[in-house]
Chains A and B, each alone.
Chain A
Amino acid sequence: MSLISNIDRGAIYVWRRNADVFFKTWKTNFLPSILEPLLYLVAMGAGLGSLVMNLQYAGQEIEYIRFLAPGLVAISIMYGGFFECTYGSFVRMHYQKTFDAIVATPVSIEDVIAGEILWGATKSFVNSTIVLLVIIVLGVTFIPQVLFTAPTMLLIPAISFLGGIMFSSIAMIFTGLVPNMDSFNYPFYLLVTPMFLFGGTFFPTTSLGVIEPVAYALPLTHTSVLMRDLSFGTVGWMDLWATLYIVVLTVVTFLLAIVIMKKRLVK
């Protein structure tokens, strides 16, 4: 397939470009990623969580904050890639003409799109790792309920990167389609925010009753299932399905993103 064969080290160069820009201002980049999970854990976990009784997950009663923490990791995976490959990529493509400059070199259009998606996935990885570290620090210090010790936790960064590719690819599809930057409101309100709220993040999908299957159509639901089970060390069949879902959707959306973006970029 020529879409894929046109991708080589050029994608890495595009990734390196974005990484260079990121690390130029890394201090301002890291601070929000540290503050956000802190705020959520305190406000929702400790505050709201004190009102939650008898929360059942995987047949066991758990405290709300313990349920919430892995959900925050999943959310950071989604937002990391989605923001980067919508607003970030659109600015580089449309306003900065960065892509135009790059494709005049031996770097192909496919390299550019793949490099952008890899970079989005890196943002997912970086953000979720920060969230995880915040959780670990809190677990060791003030909030023992979020101290996760299962060895399966070590898989979280790898799954974050994979999920990052998926969310970045979905975002890139929108970047290939929207007429202008304001139009990103649509995918954010119609897809990202519903996932944020209903994707097994703040409450178990079982609470959704008859519409629970709908939640399982959403990529974030599978991501939060994985994050939670890897954190708790309660890995089962569900996680195999979730992984499969993510792998398949990643491949499909990645290819689709390349086709759609190419259509937009080739003049």
Chain B
Amino acid sequence: MPAVVSARGLVKKYGDLVAVDHIDLQIEKGEVFGFLGPNGAGKSTTMHIIQGTSPLTAGRLEVLGMDITARAKEVKALIGVAPQENNLDPDFTVLRNLTSYARYFSIPPAQAKKRALELLDMMQLTEKKDTEIEQLSGGMKRRLIMARALINDPQLLILDEPTTGLDPQARHLIWEKIRDLQKRGTTIILATHYMDEAEQLCDRLVIMEKGKFLLEGTPRALIEEQVGSCVMEVIDPPGQGIEDYLATTGGQVERSADRIYLYSRQCQVIQSEFRGRFPDVYSTVRPSTLEDVYLKLTGRRLRD
């Protein structure tokens, strides 16, 4: 079976700015594929290229087996998009937003209405079906955008930060839906800033920075390779040489303003030795997460 997304040497320039810098990408059917990376990394740009709304500057890209430049209309008929920015139609109510969107896919009105009502039910927006868009809360708008992305029963779903601004219940609602769709064979591309979300949902992911992929793999493998299975966090009282000491233990040491992180595979052993030496210093051991990988890779400090 051909890959759902197959990209070679993808480049996107905005004037002098290289937003996507020679990336290769292969996404298989039924995968949930994640894009992580700091603001401005090029996640949304890459998604725009894949969904056929932004032409590529160089490279080759096939989506669902079709060349994106030559057959954009056919590709778009088969994909669903939840953009990062709200672009719901403020001239229509909630329900009309879905039915008018369905028309762009040539879905017959009766079928569109039925589907729209199902999706509203699924996103728990049935009560709001006759509400104007500007009267929705931010989270309701995100849910409606998600519903809209599903109106054409897409084979490929592109979700750009679908859970940003959602309350915990709504986030879990979206997560359940994503798992559900995956079970039914839908391929999903997901950009997110939430590491727990990526770790839970993604089969594979990339961490992007400045238009390039820094890392690619399954969440488990990335954690194992990059930071080991556990982390020891130490609150660092200045002037005791703790960082130097930890560097001798064989793990990798990172630091933020007031904490030292030791990535290792034997945190328990190291911690008990550490406690012997520095009995008054607070330390804790926990399993490492994708967040550790991400922060190790992109730095713990706020970026410019």
Contacts and interface: CB of A to CB of B under 8 A. Distances in A.
Interface in A179-209: none
A101 interface: yes
B-side interface mostly: loop
Interface string B50-77: 0101110000000000000000111011
Nearest to B51: A104
Contacts of B83: 100-101, 104
Interface in B80-94: 81, 83, 85-92
Nearest to A16: B103
A27 interface: no
Contacts of B106: 9, 13, 106
Contacts of B96: 20
Interface string A221-236: 0000000000000000
B104 interface: yes
A266 B53 CA distance: 8
Contact of B55 (A17, A96, A108, A266): A266
A100 B76 CA distance: 13
B55 A13 contact: no
Contacts, number: 64
B297 to A, nearest CB: 28
Contact of B104 (A20, A96, A106): A106
A101 B83 CA distance: 8
A107 B107 CA distance: 13
Interface residues of B, number: 29
Interface residues of A, number: 23
A104 B53 contact: yes
B101 interface: yes
Interface string A91-118: 0000011101111111110000000000
B54 A100 contact: no
Contact of B53 (A9, A10, A16, A103): A103
A97 B53 CA distance: 13
B150 to A, nearest CB: 13
B100 A108 contact: no
Which of B53, B74, B81 is packed against the most chain A CB atoms within 10 Å? B53
Contacts of B90: 96
A21 interface: yes
B85 to A, nearest CB: 7
A104 B76 contact: yes
A20 B90 CA distance: 13
A98 B87 contact: yes
A188 to B, nearest CB: 24
Interface in B25-73: 48, 51, 53-55, 72-73
A102 B76 CA distance: 11
A13 B105 CA distance: 9
Which of A6, A10, A20, A101 is packed against the most chain B CB atoms within 10 Å? A101
Contacts of A6: 73
Which of A24, A105, A106, A107 is packed against the most chain B CB atoms within 10 Å? A105
Nearest to B148: A101
Nearest to A104: B81
B93 to A, nearest CB: 10
B81 A21 contact: no
Nearest to B82: A104
A267 B56 CA distance: 10
Contacts of A20: 92, 96, 100
Nearest to B48: A267
A223 to B, nearest CB: 30
A98 B54 contact: no
7 contacts: A10-B104, A96-B87, A101-B83, A104-B83, A105-B152, A106-B77, A266-B55
